Chains A and B, each alone.
Chain A
Amino acid sequence: QQQVKQSPQSLIVQKGGISIINCAYENTAFDYFPWYQQFPGKGPALLIAIRPDVSEKKEGRFTISFNKSAKQFSLHIMDSQPGDSATYFCAALGGRRALTFGSGTRLQVQP
Chain B
Amino acid sequence: EIVLTQSPGTLSLSPGERATLSCRASQSVSSSYLAWYQQKPGQAPRLLIYAASTRATGIPDRFRGSGSGTDFTLTISRLEPEDFAVYYCQPYGSSRAFGQGTKVEIK
Chain A partners chain B: no
Interface of A toward B, CB cutoff 8 Å:
none
Q: Which B residues lie at the A interface, using CB under 8 A?
A: none
